[in-house]
Amino acid sequence: LGKANFRKNGTFVLSSGVFELKIHSFHTAQRICRRHRDCHIFFRICLKHPEDVISAEPPCTFGTGQTNVIRADHTSISSSAPIRVPFHFKWPGTFSLIIEAWNAESPTEYTDNQNNLVSRLATRRRLAIGEDWSQDVHFGEQSELRYSYHVFCDEYYFGDGCADYCRPRDDTLGHYTCDEEGNRICLEGWKGNYCSEPICSAECSERHGYCEAPGGCTCRMGWQGPSCNECVRYPGCLHGTCSQPWQCNCQEGWGGLFCDQDLNYCTNHKPCANGATCTNTGQGSYTCNCRPGFGGTNCELETNECDSNPCKNGGSCNDLENDYSCTCPQGFYGKNCEIIAMTCADGPCFNGGTCVETMTGGYTCRCPPSYTGSNCEKKLDRCSNRPCLNGGECLDLGQSILCRCQAGFTGANCQVNIDDCASSPCQNAGTCQDGVNDYTCSCTLGYIGKNCSVRSDACGAHPCQNGGTCFTHFTGPVCQCPKGFMGPSCEFTLQPSFKPALRQTSQPSSTTLTLSCALAILVLVLVAGILYLRRRRRMQGRKQLRDTAVYNDLETVNNLGGNERDAFLGPNGLFKISNSTARLSLSLCPDGRPGYRHNPVENKGIRGQDLQHKTKYRKIRYSGLFWKTGPEMFCWVILLNMFTLFLFFFKHSNFLLLFNLPFAIISLLCVPSFFFILLLLIIIYLFENLCLWFHFVTDVEIYLYDAK
């Protein structure tokens, strides 16, 4: 039934508990009772499910209760007995509580007349299961109510909602006690949810045994033993076992339905004696194979080998241990004297064997080579063990064998490899390596062929491309490339602008031309350096003269007096100094000299008829870009081309080009890139001089005017 339980009266309940409330005191400002009457009052409570707005109207879903009629004075009571409200549902924890105070008509009469209602309290509370009382006080408009309450579970009910039932017992329905939380605690020797299953002995098989009381072990059907782990065999099974009940699995050597038939009689009983061999024939039977000299069913009887008279032709038998021997008369031999002896007169020897009479009346055959046997009837095969090695052919010559060896081998058994290098077949310092009936020559440089006898033609494979001419050198083939190609095999094409002055048919004239070009370039470099130094010295001299002339003219102006001085003065007493071509910021007199004025330069156009005196000087000269950077740039161009040429020859080395190195240098310097840089330097020089004359030449002019 799970959590559900039956009470003693047979009522089916899920939970059971009691809510108790105790009134401690009640005071009111108005009179409780009517005049000239005794005061009687009672309290009624209503428990309901939680409501946001508590209604005093029924029903009281959780229950209701009231106190007995209490005698009180006209304004208060002191205490009352607790009000009990039992419940039989899982306690929810939250509830609505309504407490009403009523005026009773008499000590025994309760009333529902609303006129007798003294006070009403409605509140919502939360309360957990427990024995502790919760204290509370309510203050009304004209009353004060102090009370306490708690909720607890009935006997045998536990848990937060009094929904767990646990009643200790020790009977057929269970053997347990209960803890404080209502959990069942099994008594010793019992287990299970309701402690109704006994705990069997530790050795008892849980699968094949059970128990009705703690510590016991009762076997289930088909099992036996103290621990109920032995299966019961099929009834009547003698020499068998079982893995499951009612089986009869026969042991080795036994058979039949009940395993009562001995299938291995020899092993179990060993009936054969005197070392005889026993053989099982099934169904408990056997046979014995006796050793010589023994007989009987179990070979238990010792026999005489001569009893059967094995010797023939009058031979006498001699009994031995487990054997016999026959003594044959003259003219017979063999194990049982069954062979008639022959004489040399009968010609018993074959294949040319020689017959010799013996003292006992027999004979012996002396066989020729290649034959054997008592009568020389077997031919010997001397080549059967393959004495010839390395594929040699064996020939049986009767007296001996002969090995016919394969080419390249020798020796009695063809075991020796003939050294084909013994005759030194490799010529011209070639190295010989022996093989099987052959040799291999490793030729030195310049020779080929089987014996290194043929001089190799390095140019025979035509290694030169693009029409190059091949020459044989000790290091290998060397290519002389045609015009426009280069590289070890003439595989690289030169740029179309690369026009070397070298001709293949005129080596002396090419060298002369190369030296001439180099000398001309050297002269040009020297001339450019000399011109640069001379021009620089001349510029420095001009600058010194110009600075001196300017200073003298300024001194002349400052020394003028009278009307001439006034003619030079402006409205503010400043000199009129005009620059007609460019704006300059000049200081015409040294700073700090007494009697001198600093006059600003004024750019002003002056008509020619007003000019009385004019002095013109070259004040500023532009230092040319070409003469500062031209020679340096020219040298850097030469070094750059030399470095390019070095990288070119490092990558594409060829001994023919090394002979023409001067010509190649001049040719590389004459490529279009060199001419372009040279042309650029000339343009810079011309542009610089034009700028020098038209823009960067500054004239400082001093004008003198007539005083008007």
Do 52 and 192 lie in one domain? The reply is: no
The pLDDT-based confidence of 619 (bands split at 50, 70, 90) is very low
Give CA 282 to chain center in angstroms. Answer: 68
**Residue 576: closest CA among 706, 484, 482:** 706
User: Within a domain: residue 277?
Assistant: yes
d(CA 652, CA 666): 18
pLDDT above 90 coverage of the chain, percent = 28
Half-sphere exposure in the Cβ direction for 171 (13 Å, CA) = 4
- The dihedral of CA 454, 458, 459, 462: what is its sign? positive
**Residue-by-residue DSSP string for 3-52:** T-EE-TTS-EES--EEEEEEEEEEEESS-SS-TTS-EEEEEEEEEE---S
The pLDDT-based confidence of 125 (bands split at 50, 70, 90) is very high
Do 318 and 372 lie in one domain? The reply is: no
Structure tokens of 210? 């059970």
336 three-state secondary structure: coil
The pLDDT-based confidence of 636 (bands split at 50, 70, 90) is low
Distances (CA, A) of 31 to 114, 313, 411, 428, 652: 16, 166, 157, 156, 135
Q: Is the pLDDT higher at 402 or at 500?
A: 402
Structure tokens of 512? 């002369």
User: Within a domain: residue 500?
Assistant: no
Q: What pLDDT shows up at residue 1?
A: 35
* Average pLDDT value for residue range 530-542: 78
pLDDT digits (tens, 9 = 90+) for 265-320: 888 788 899 889 998 887 778 899 998 778 888 998 888 888 889 999 888 999 88
Residue 552: Cβ-neighbour burial (10 angstroms; 0-12, 13-18, 19+): exposed
d(CA 251, CA 249): 7
Give CA 486 to chain center in angstroms. Answer: 53
Please, where are the H alpha helices in 574-654?
A: 625-651
Do 363 and 480 lie in one domain? The reply is: no
Considering 379, 401, 435, which residue would you say is the last residue of a domain?
379
User: Within a domain: residue 108?
Assistant: yes
Tokens 């309504």, residue?
98
The pLDDT-based confidence of 86 (bands split at 50, 70, 90) is very high
Contacts of 325 (CB under 8 A, 6+ apart): 317, 318
Q: What angle do CA 479, 485, 491 make, to 5 degrees?
A: 65
Considering 355, 379, 403, which residue would you say is the last residue of a domain?
379
The pLDDT-based confidence of 220 (bands split at 50, 70, 90) is very high
Number of structural domains in the chain: 7
* Average pLDDT value for residue range 690-695: 53
The pLDDT-based confidence of 606 (bands split at 50, 70, 90) is very low
Range scoring the smallest mean pLDDT among 117-121, 250-254, 270-274, 358-362: 358-362
Range of the structural domain that residue 697 is part of: 527-708
User: Within a domain: residue 50?
Assistant: yes
Measure CA of the first residue to CA of the last residue in the chain; give whole Å. 144
Do 667 and 705 lie in one domain? The reply is: yes
Do 663 and 649 lie in one domain? The reply is: yes
User: Within a domain: residue 335?
Assistant: yes
d(CA 590, CA 181): 117
The pLDDT-based confidence of 263 (bands split at 50, 70, 90) is confident
**Residue 538: closest CA among 640, 618, 428:** 618
Report the largest interatomic distance among the alpha carbons of the chain, rounded to a whole angstrom: 198
d(CA 642, CA 152): 114
Do 473 and 543 lie in one domain? The reply is: no
Indicate whether 215 pLDDT > 60. yes
**Residue 113: closest CA among 171, 178, 51, 44:** 44
**Residue 122 belongs to domain with CATH number:** 2.60.40.3510
**pTM of the predicted model, to two decimals?**
0.34
678 three-state secondary structure: helix
The pLDDT-based confidence of 624 (bands split at 50, 70, 90) is very low
Q: Are 119 and 101 in contact (CB under 8 A)?
A: yes
Residue 592: Cβ-neighbour burial (10 angstroms; 0-12, 13-18, 19+): exposed
Do 550 and 661 lie in one domain? The reply is: yes
User: Within a domain: residue 506?
Assistant: no
Do 617 and 640 lie in one domain? The reply is: yes
Considering 327, 352, 379, which residue would you say is the last residue of a domain?
379
**Residue 29: closest CA among 165, 138, 144:** 144
Do 190 and 289 lie in one domain? The reply is: no
Indicate whether 507 pLDDT > 50. no
Range scoring the smallest mean pLDDT among 390-404, 416-430, 607-621: 607-621
User: Within a domain: residue 271?
Assistant: yes
Do 134 and 111 lie in one domain? The reply is: yes
**Residue 666: closest CA among 545, 522, 471:** 522
**Residue 366 belongs to domain with CATH number:** 2.10.25.10
* Average pLDDT value for residue range 379-392: 85
User: Within a domain: residue 692?
Assistant: yes
* Average pLDDT value for residue range 495-506: 48
Range scoring the smallest mean pLDDT among 152-166, 561-575, 666-680: 561-575
Do 483 and 581 lie in one domain? The reply is: no
Do 540 and 581 lie in one domain? The reply is: yes
Q: What pLDDT shows up at residue 76?
A: 64
Q: What pLDDT shows up at residue 665?
A: 55
